[in-house]
Amino acid sequence: MAAALQTPFEYLQVLARKGEALAGKLPVQAEQKEAWKGVLFEIRGHRLLAPMDEVAEIVTPPAVTRLPGVKSWACGMANMRGNLLPVMDLQGFLYGDNLARDSRRQRLLVINYQGVYAGLVVESVQGMKHFWVDDRVMELPTEDEALNPYLDGAFRGSDEHLAVFSPWRLAQDERFLNVST
């Protein structure tokens, strides 16, 4: 009966004290782990991760207008919601042989880094992957000379070892920026 005689404010104070008393019995996580997110994509048989903060968006490759006087891996220009987007074949740039067109699987990783706005055509995108920052290793799963300048460590999970491909490193490469023949 005593609870019925309390004011609403007093009743809330009693509830708060009970909550604080019970909270002391809950387990506390000793340390908070930091998560890392990346886009898992494939290029020439390599499964690679691109950091989420280096990929502006992922889209199906749009229609492109071919440009004269550019390297074969520079596919052309596309209109992305009113913005001109240079479209580059990542496999063509890295290995010299462009991907065969397969719009069902291929995706465009759009990057926007310090004035470099471009779309990278990749073989496929398998989705997002999450790792703990502590799972990052410097040992690379591949010794591919074409990829190595753009790799930034790797993540080792329970059954996979995936290299991290940095689109921003690619955007700083003079060879990538010079598309004219």
Three-state DSSP state, 1: coil
CA diameter of the chain: 89
Indicate the helix (H) or strand (E) that contains 10: helix 8-23
Characterise 168 by phi-psi region: left (phi > 0), alpha (psi -120 to 50), beta (else). Answer: alpha
- In CATH terms, 35-177 corresponds, of 2.40.10.480, 2.130.10.10, 3.30.930.10, 2.40.50.180, to 2.40.50.180
Eight-class DSSP state of 55:
-
Closest to 155 measured CA to CA, from 145, 169, 165:
165
- Residue 122 phi, psi (nearest 5): -120, 160
List strands edge to edge, sheet with 116-122: 57-59, 107-113, 116-122, 83-89, 74-80
Q: What is the pLDDT along the chain (181 residues), one digit of tens a residue?
A: 455 667 888 888 888 888 888 876 666 666 778 999 999 999 999 999 999 999 999 999 999 999 999 999 999 999 999 999 999 999 999 999 998 887 789 999 999 999 999 999 999 999 999 999 999 999 999 889 999 999 999 999 878 999 999 999 999 999 999 999 8
Q: Which two tokens stand for residue 61?
A: 């490759």
Contact 113, 167 (CB under 8 A): yes
> How far is residue 110 from each of residues 7, 74, 107, 168, 180, measured CA to CA in Å?
59, 14, 9, 11, 21
